[in-house]
Structure 1
Amino acid sequence: MRMSEGVEWGLHCCVALGWIGQDEVVSTARLAAKFGLPAAYLNKSLQALVRAGILVSSAGPKGGFRLARAPARITLLEVVDAIEGQEAAFRCTEIRRNGEGAAPPAECRRPCAIASAMRGAEAAWRKELSRQTIAMVMDKAPRSAAERTVRWHAFA
């Protein structure tokens, strides 16, 4: 499974906004400059996070983004789903029913073993991401990263 880089960008922005403080607003341009990202593309990820209720945006010269709720109440899965969508990673098209080696109809009444295995793996992956929060990532990151982010914001 491959996720878009927007997931990484969104997660890093959420962590940075968490360190800066829930009431602080940061523009797309500033966040893009902090991480060396293209602002137009980053903005698409940030807008997806707004639609999901993870970020709040404000317009105007002092506008930007801030966390919509405490970092401990934002899961990694929410960020992934906001940017990637909730569609299953694996789509079974039942190819076992096709071609010269097609399975008999009676065998196809049971779920495909491959689809079951893939769905189980994805469920485990999603469950683990739902257990992890932005606050947990913030706590695991080096203290120096948090300090650099706070200094960077202070000199805006």
Structure 2
Amino acid sequence: MKYSKATNYALHSIAFLGLLPSGKSVGVKPLAELQKVSPTYLSKVLTTLVKAGLISSATGVKGGYKLMKQVQDISFWDVIQAVEGQNPLFQCGLESHAHENENCFIQSVMNDAERKMEEHLQSQTIEQVLEKIDRRASAFLQSEAG
């Protein structure tokens, strides 16, 4: 199983935004610089997070991105779903007269594993990882914040 690069950048961006002082925002360029990614690509990822209601964006001198929720209220699962969508990871593709897709015994095992992973990711918040983030990132973002 592999999550997209967009999910990687989304999780890191949300965490970096969580380091900002309350009410402050930061532009896409500093976030892209921290992650060594194109600002154009990251802008697309951030737009997805805006549409999901996790962050907001504003234009102008004091513009940029900021969190819409408190870090303790944003789970890893929230961010993953915003980027990856809600489709199951595994879908039984076996269809025959002897096998009904709805009763696939392999699908039930995979669904159970996916539920357990979802529960774990729902229990992990952005707040929990902020303590582990390199403080140089925090200082850099705060210097760039508007």
Scaled by the length of structure 1, the TM-score of the pair is: 0.84
Deviating runs (4+, > 3 A) in structure 1? 107-110
What secondary structure sits across from 2:19 in the alignment?
Answer: helix
Select the structure with the greater relative contact order (CA < 8 A; seq sep ≥ 6): 2
Note closer, same or farther for the CA distance 1:108–1:34 as it changes in structure 2 (3 Å cut). Answer: closer
Which of these residues, 126, 129, 137, is aligned with residue 121 of structure 2? Answer: 129
Is 1:20 the counterpart of 2:20 in the alignment? Answer: yes
Matches of 1:26 and 1:154, distance apart in 2: 8
The corresponding residue for 1:65 is 65
Question: Which digits, 9 at most, give the CA deviation of each residue in 1:117-137, with x for residues without a partner?
Answer: 111111111111011110011
The corresponding residue for 2:109 is 117
- Paired residue type of 1:5: K
What secondary structure sits across from 2:57 in the alignment?
Answer: strand
How many residue pairs match? The answer is: 144
The question of whether the paired residues in 1 share the 8 Å contact of 2:26 and 2:65 is answered with yes
The question of whether the paired residues in 2 share the 8 Å contact of 1:10 and 1:46 is answered with yes
Is 1:151 the counterpart of 2:139 in the alignment? Answer: yes
User: RMSD of aligned C-alpha atoms?
Assistant: 1.8
Question: Which digits, 9 at most, give the CA deviation of each residue in 1:40-91, with x for residues without a partner?
Answer: 1111111111111110111123321001011000010010000111111111
The question of whether the paired residues in 1 share the 8 Å contact of 2:21 and 2:142 is answered with no
Could you tell me which runs of 5 or more consecutive residues in structure 2 were left unpaired when the two chains were aligned. Answer: none
Could you tell me which runs of 5 or more consecutive residues in structure 1 were left unpaired when the two chains were aligned. Answer: none
Scaled by the length of structure 2, the TM-score of the pair is: 0.90
- Paired residue type of 2:93: T
